[in-house]
Structures are given as structure tokens and as C-alpha cells.
Amino acid sequence: MCLAGGGCAGSLTADDATSIDVRTELLVFRGADGTPAAWSHLLGAVADADVIIVGEEHGNAVGHRVELAIVQDVLDRWPGSALSMEMLDRTEQAVVDDYLADFIDLETFQERTAGTRWLKISRQYVDGEINRKTFEKRITRLGWPDWETNYQPIIDAARSAGAPVIAANTPWLVYSSVARREGFERLDDVTPAQRALFEVPAEIPQGTYRERFWDVMVGRAEGEPPPEDGDADEDSAHSDLDDETVAAMFRGQLVMDATMAESIATASRAGAPKVVHLVGHFHCDFEGGLVQELRRRLPEAEILVITALARDEPALRDEDVDRADFVVYTKR
């Protein structure tokens, strides 16, 4: 999830991050040419957008404060707008809606969503209900361990504004995994209830997104042979994998991209003035798979991409040119 989902950069603690005024203290650049921009310029671009995709590093606490500020500003200026999240999947939509409607409390919400089920698992272990082996097996299958400080404040901002929150992703341990193991064709023979939980890509990307996936996952280009024993790239945990295996992993990634794109498109078609989607930045950087899928599904929509990265530089790095419409350096 970290590699292909947006990175797990370290950062300040959440408590330290709350002391930063992200609207005034962080550096914002226009992605096309590196021109410095103010928060007001970013909001000016938001005003012209139908969909705002915010790419994150999952472990960047300051980056999550940037997301919170964007969501707050959008919901304040454009009532009826929606928050969409990679971190929640479609099976959890009713639970999300129950929390927004105050049918369930915060603790129940956090225990019933996969992104925060680690709370329940941890309590089971502490209370002696499960042993260490079971605890480790279950906890390592979950993501988003900093939910309470990184994501809950954003959901609560939407709740306070009376805004919908879209559980946009597919349950990736199921449908992305099936696509990876058995191909997209295996997803044709499903029930309507199953089909409601995922989308398949309209096209298979062959350009930069695919190239970046190979580089991130195995540290080489597609078609190059895996390294010989002893020559593996230490920066890539999967550098010894062959192309067939990486292509299978890519299929799983594309199911997530397609599902999130259709979730966003559905909210936009339903009349939301703006949809703000939070996602790991790999999915959206450099016209990534999510953006490509969304453009196919909403060809007339204005899409704005903002990426927040843990960099402390006075100018936009060369490698970040054209990464997004706006790039925010969080300094941590």
C-alpha cells in the first residue's frame, strides 16, 4: 500500500503538526513551472475545478493538515460539496453514513471500518482474547494506523459541514487481489451485489504510469531481466520479481484506480459542486492512473491535482515539475 499507494514518509507527530498554519507557513508551487504560489492562488484554482484530487504521503502528518485545510475551505465556500477517500471502501459506505447521521458514535465507527479495525484487534490482544501470532497476522493486513489523528479530523470536518463522505475504494483484499491473481476476466462472473463494489479500468495504461509502477516496485524498466542473485536493488523490496508478477500487481492497482474514479464521477454527476478526493500521491502524480480513469469517465470535468510532499526546499525540485497542478512542500 505504501509503495504503490503514495509512500509512507515520516514526519512530525500529529500534535506538532497541529501547531503549523499550513495556509501561510508552507511553500506552494505551480507544478507546470515551479512558480511560487500563495494559498489564495491555490483556492482560485479550486474555484474553477469540479474535482480536486489531493495526493498524500500516508505518514506525513503535516500533509494531512494540508488536506484538512483544503477540505474545510471547500466545504465552507461551496456548500454541498463532497469528500471522497481512498481510505474507505464501498463496503463501508453505510457505516460512514451512520456516523455522519449520528446513528453510531465515534468508537463504533472506528471499530466497524477496515481502516481503523486495528483498534479492535489491538484491544483484543491487550485483553488476552487473541494471542500474539494472531494479532500480528491480523494487524499487518490493515492500513491507516494513524487514523485518529490523520483522517478522523477530516471526516469530522465534513460531518460538521453536513457534507457527504464517499467510501470510494474497492475492498482491495478481495477484488484487487482477484484481478491480480486471475485477471480482469475473473471479475466478469459476479453477482450484482459484488459488481457494486468494484470497477475495472477502461484501458490499460502503457505510458508513464506503467513505467513508474515498474520503477517503484522493482527498480527497473519493463522488459529488463530481474537482477541475478546477489545483485538485487536494496531500495526495492520486490526487485527480483519478473514482469508477469509485476503486471499482475499492476492489475490490482488499476482496479483501485477505476473504482475510485467511478466513485468520484458518481458524486459529481449527482450534483456535488465539488468533490475533494484524498489518495496516495502515486495514483494521481504525473497524470496517474486515477486521473486517467477519471478523465475518461468525466470528460467535461475540470480536474485539479494537488500533491503534498515532505520536502524542505526553497524551490520546486526538477523531479516534481509536472507532478501536479500545485505541489505543496510540507518541510517535514
Domain extents in the chain: 2-6+34-104+150-329
What confidence category does residue 113 fall into, taking pLDDT thresholds of 50, 70 and 90? Answer: confident
Considering the chain, what is the average pLDDT of its residues?
A: 91
DSSP β-ladder status, 275-280 and 51-56 = parallel
Average pLDDT, stretch 190-207? 94
Average pLDDT, stretch 219-244? 76
pLDDT, tens digit, 9 for 90 and up, residues 61-101? 999 999 999 999 999 999 999 999 999 999 999 999 999 99
pLDDT for 123 equals: 85
> Angle at Cα 31 formed by Cα 26 and Cα 33, nearest 5°?
110
Average pLDDT, stretch 122-140? 85
pLDDT for 111 equals: 82
pLDDT for 267 equals: 98
pLDDT for 261 equals: 98
pTM, full prediction? 0.90
pLDDT for 259 equals: 98
What confidence category does residue 232 fall into, taking pLDDT thresholds of 50, 70 and 90? Answer: low
**pLDDT at residue 200 is higher than 60:** yes
Higher pLDDT among residues 308 and 142, named by residue: 308
Higher pLDDT among residues 4 and 180, named by residue: 180
